[in-house]
């Protein structure tokens, strides 16, 4: 579990099989007064616990409160069908996919990590305004996490009234169209 930290960046590795989250199922309680919402993937909870545990061990500060950038690099195990046989068992077949274009999709993998980091690295996952996801086949399974505090002011810079906003037509442009 190596880590890299700077005043505005927290970076670390979480070993383990990344599990997707996001799909939920709802069940009525026995008395019918409540609804119980359960993640469709039973293994997602254990994966979120591992991510949260490693994050707490790597970062002991207060959760970030401003906008953040989240970079996630997921490493998945290659399926056995990608590997050679016998003395070539450690070699990837030339016919094997180069990229991990298989399920689970990167967005659902990210959702589990985002949820696990909430309250630890950032106060709320709504603070993520820039997110980069990558999914690879790797020698070991896990996720490389980097959270960067962005020094963006809370109020966006104002565009002068005389300057058109890109993508918006000015009145004179509307008349021409």
User: Does residue 163 belong to any structural domain of this protein?
Assistant: no
Residue 117 lies in a domain: yes
pLDDT-based confidence at residue 162 (cuts at 50, 70, 90): low
Q: What is the mean pLDDT of residues 77-104?
A: 74
Mean pLDDT of the chain: 81
**Does residue 172 lie within any of the structural domains?**
no
The answer to whether residue 177 sits within a structural domain is no
- pLDDT band of residue 10 (cuts 50, 70, 90) is very high
Residues 6 or more apart in contact with residue 50 via CB below 8 angstroms: 14, 16
- Angle between helix axes 106-117 and 44-58 (nearest 10 degrees) is 50
Query: Nearest 5 degrees, angle CA 86-CA 87-CA 90?
Result: 95
The rounded distance, in Å, linking the Cα atoms of 34 and 24 is 16
CATH of the domain at 92: 3.30.1330.70
Q: Could you tell me the two tokens for 59?
A: 């970062």
The number of folded domains in the chain is 1
| Residue with the two structure tokens 């909430």 | 118
Q: Quick: pLDDT tens for 47-59.
A: 999 999 999 999 9
Q: Is the pLDDT of residue 161 over 80?
A: no
In a domain, residue 169? The reply is no
Taking the C-alpha atoms of residue 148 and residue 71, their distance in angstroms, rounded to an integer, is 8
Burial degree of 162 (CB within 10 A; 0-12, 13-18, 19+): exposed
Contacts of 146 (CB under 8 A, 6+ apart): 9, 10, 11, 69, 70, 71, 72
Range of the domain at 92: 3-155
Classify residue 161: in a domain, yes or no.
Answer: no
Alpha-carbon distance 49 to 150, whole Å?
Answer: 26
């Amino acid at each position: 579990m190596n880590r890299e930290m700077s005043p505005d960046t927290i970076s670390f590795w979480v070993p383990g099989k990344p599990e997707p989250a996001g799909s939920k199922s709802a069940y009525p309680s026995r008395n019918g007064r409540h609804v119980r919402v359960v993640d469709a993937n039973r293994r997602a909870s254990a994966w979120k616990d591992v991510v949260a545990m490693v994050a707490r061990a790597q970062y002991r500060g207060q959760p970030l409160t401003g906008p953040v950038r989240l970079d996630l690099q997921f490493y998945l195990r290659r399926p056995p069908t990608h590997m050679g046989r016998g003395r070539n068992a450690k070699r990837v077949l030339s016919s094997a996919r180069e990229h991990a274009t298989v399920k689970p999709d990167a967005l659902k993998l990210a959702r589990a990590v985002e949820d696990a980091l909430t309250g630890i690295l950032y106060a709320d996952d709504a603070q993520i305004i820039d997110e980069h996801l990558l999914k690879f086949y790797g020698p070991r399974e896990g996720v490389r996490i980097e959270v960067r505090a962005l020094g963006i002011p809370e109020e966006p810079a104002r565009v002068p009234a005389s300057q058109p906003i890109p993508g918006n037509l000015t009145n004179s442009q509307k008349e021409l169209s």
